[in-house]
């Protein structure tokens, strides 16, 4: 019984899936979600000062009054006007470089993207126009961090790199319908909406074991340190050195 109660409290504490949604980010410079909810006083100054009217007030619910950017209707153009105005520090006011913003990361869905369909799956425009393949590259052209956040692979189709800040202009401009071929996944989301309760439980356990101070040198590694060690296992860049066990013939008979 107590265990059940504990589980319920844990479930409530971990929050609902309402915390994060695809194509819904906080304004640039926002601190992490939990601290943002504590610090944001819903004064809506960021909303008022936004010259592109990108920032929208959240509607009914626990987050009422807090600012959001809905990338599908209007992306953020990274003018950085809002961060400097935040009176409480919910948006980091020292931030004025658009490249250091961490609102999220864009992700291209290759099953919908025109360029990917055209180049990888050889889909050409058919008469029904349900699936179109074309060299579109709109996201590449509108990206504020062009050639850094979105690059053209083989000079042909767009690929999102780690420099993406999640502004969502590509989502706003993506021509596919009804579902956009590119999505912004907000920072801290980790696709929690698609995972279940046990995933979130495991995630909280993982976050608890993150602190490396509690880990003894003799103990098996866990958490982030284990991941660090695993990422070190990488064959790229190093060429394996081994001796050929046979002698290379200097010439082949009959070929010269």
Where on the chain is the footprint of another protein (CB under 8 A)? Answer: 34-35, 37-45, 47-49, 51, 53, 57, 59-60, 62, 64-65, 85, 87-89, 93
- Cβ proximity to another protein, 47 vs 101, nearer residue: 47
Taking the complex as a whole, the smallest distance from the CB of residue 25 to another protein amounts, in Å, to 20
CA distance 134 to 120: 11
- Cβ proximity to another protein, 80 vs 174, nearer residue: 80
Taking the complex as a whole, the smallest distance from the CB of residue 145 to another protein amounts, in Å, to 25
**What are the distances in angstroms from CA 223 to CA 144, 198, 207?**
35, 17, 7
Q: What is the CA radius of gyration of the chain?
A: 24
Which of helix, strand or coil describes residue 230? helix
- Cβ proximity to another protein, 39 vs 159, nearer residue: 39
Half-sphere exposure of 92 (CA within 13 A, CB side): 14
Taking the complex as a whole, the smallest distance from the CB of residue 230 to another protein amounts, in Å, to 34
Nearest CA among 110, 200, 199 for reference residue 159 = 110
CA-angle at 57, arms to 53 and 62, nearest 5°: 160
- Cβ proximity to another protein, 90 vs 184, nearer residue: 90
Taking the complex as a whole, the smallest distance from the CB of residue 193 to another protein amounts, in Å, to 21
Taking the complex as a whole, the smallest distance from the CB of residue 201 to another protein amounts, in Å, to 21
- Cβ proximity to another protein, 207 vs 229, nearer residue: 207
CA distance 192 to 175: 27
């Amino acid at each position: 019984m107590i265990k059940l109660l504990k589980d319920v409290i844990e479930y409530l504490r971990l929050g609902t899936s309402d915390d994060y949604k695809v194509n819904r980010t906080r304004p640039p410079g926002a601190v992490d979600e939990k601290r943002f909810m504590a610090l944001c006083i819903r004064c809506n100054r960021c909303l008022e000062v936004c010259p592109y009217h990108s920032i929208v007030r959240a509607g009914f619910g626990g987050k009422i009054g807090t600012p959001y950017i809905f990338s599908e209707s209007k992306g953020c153009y990274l003018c950085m006007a809002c961060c400097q105005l935040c009176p409480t520090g919910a948006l980091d006011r020292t931030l004025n470089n658009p490249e250091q913003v961490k609102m999220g990361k864009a992700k291209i869905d290759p099953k919908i993207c025109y360029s990917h369909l055209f180049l990888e799956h050889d889909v050409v425009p058919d008469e029904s126009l349900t699936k179109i393949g074309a060299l579109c590259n709109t996201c590449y052209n509108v990206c504020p961090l062009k050639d850094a956040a979105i690059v053209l692979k083989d000079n042909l189709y767009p690929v999102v790199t780690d420099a993406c800040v999640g502004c969502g202009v590509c989502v706003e401009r993506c021509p596919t319908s009804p579902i956009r071929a590119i999505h912004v996944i907000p920072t801290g989301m980790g696709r929690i909406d698609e995972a279940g309760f046990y995933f979130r439980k495991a995630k909280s356990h993982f976050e608890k074991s993150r602190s490396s101070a509690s880990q003894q040198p003799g103990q098996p590694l866990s958490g982030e340190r284990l991941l660090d060690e695993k990422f070190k296992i990488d064959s790229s860049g190093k060429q394996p050195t081994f001796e050929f066990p046979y002698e290379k013939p200097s010439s082949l008979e009959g070929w010269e």
